Amino acid sequence: MYWEKDVETLSRNKLEELQLAQLIQTVKRTEKSYYYGKLFKEKNLSANSIKSLQDIQKFPFTTKDDLREHWPYGFIAVPKDELVRMHSSSGTTGRATVVFHTAHDIAVWSNLLARCMFMVGMRKSDVFQNMMTYGLFTGGLGFHYGAEKIGALVIPAGAGNSKRQIQLMMDFETTVVHVIPSYALHLSTVFTELKLDPRKDTKVKIAFLGAEPHTEKMRRKIEGIYSYKAFNSYGLSEMNGPGVAFECPYQDGMHIWEDSFLVEIIDPKTLEPVADGQEGELVMTSIQKEGMPLLRYRTKDLTRIIPGICPCGRTHRRIERIKGRTDDMLILKGVNIFPMQIEKKLMEIPDVGTNFLIILDRDEFNDSMTVKVEVNKKYFAGDIKQLENLRKKIAEELKGELLITPKVDLVEPDSIPKGEGKAVRVIDNRKD
Ligand code: ADP
Ligand code: ZN
Tens digits of pLDDT across the chain (432 residues) = 899 999 999 999 999 999 999 999 999 999 999 999 999 999 999 999 999 999 999 999 999 999 999 999 999 999 999 999 999 988 877 788 999 999 999 999 999 999 999 999 999 999 999 999 999 999 999 999 999 999 999 999 999 999 999 999 999 999 999 999 999 999 999 999 999 999 999 999 999 999 999 999 999 999 999 999 999 999 999 999 999 999 999 999 999 999 999 999 999 999 999 998 999 999 999 999 999 999 999 999 999 999 999 999 999 999 999 998 988 889 888 889 999 999 999 999 988 877 999 999 998 888 999 999 999 988 998 788 999 999 999 999 999 999 889 999 999 988 998 888 899 999 999 875
Whether ligand 1 lies within 6 angstroms of the CB of 210 is answered as yes
DSSP one-letter code for 279? -
Helices (H) and strands (E) in the chain, counts: 13, 21
Q: What is the pLDDT of residue 350?
A: 87
Q: Could you count the other beta carbons within 10 Å of the beta carbon of residue 376?
A: 16
Residue 214 CA to residue 182 CA, distance in Å, equals 8
Atom of ligand 1 lying closest to residue 422 CA:
4
pLDDT in tens, 106-129: 999 999 999 999 999 999 999 999
Read off the pTM: 0.94
Q: What is the pLDDT of residue 328?
A: 86
pLDDT in tens, 338-348: 999 999 999 99
- Dihedral class, residue 365 (left if φ above 0, else alpha if ψ from -120 to 50, else beta): alpha
Q: How far is the CA of 141 from the centre of ligand 2 (A)?
A: 25
Q: What is the pLDDT of residue 138?
A: 97
Report the residue among 294, 301, 320 best suited for mutation to probe ligand 1: largest number of ligand atoms under 8 A from its CB: 301
Q: Buried b / exposed e across 377-412, counting CB within 10 Å, b at 16+?
A: eebeeeeeeeeeebbeebeebbeeebeeebebebee
Whether ligand 1 lies within 6 angstroms of the CB of 376 is answered as no
Q: What is the pLDDT of residue 432?
A: 58
Whether ligand 1 lies within 6 angstroms of the CB of 236 is answered as yes
Helical H segments across 100-259, by residue range? 103-119, 138-150, 162-171, 181-193, 198-201, 216-226
Q: How far is the CA of 251 from the centre of ligand 2 (A)?
A: 8
Helix axes 216-226, 339-347, angle to 10 degrees: 40
**142 touches 241 (CB < 8 A):** yes
Query: Which is nearest to 120 in space by CA: 243, 217, 258, 288?
Result: 243
Report whether the peptide linkage leading into residue 273 is cis, meaning its omega lies within 30 degrees of zero.
no
Query: Which is nearest to 77 in space by CA: 369, 338, 286?
Result: 286
Q: How far is the CA of 166 from the centre of ligand 1 (A)?
A: 26
Whether ligand 1 lies within 6 angstroms of the CB of 367 is answered as no
Atom of ligand 1 lying closest to residue 322 CA:
25
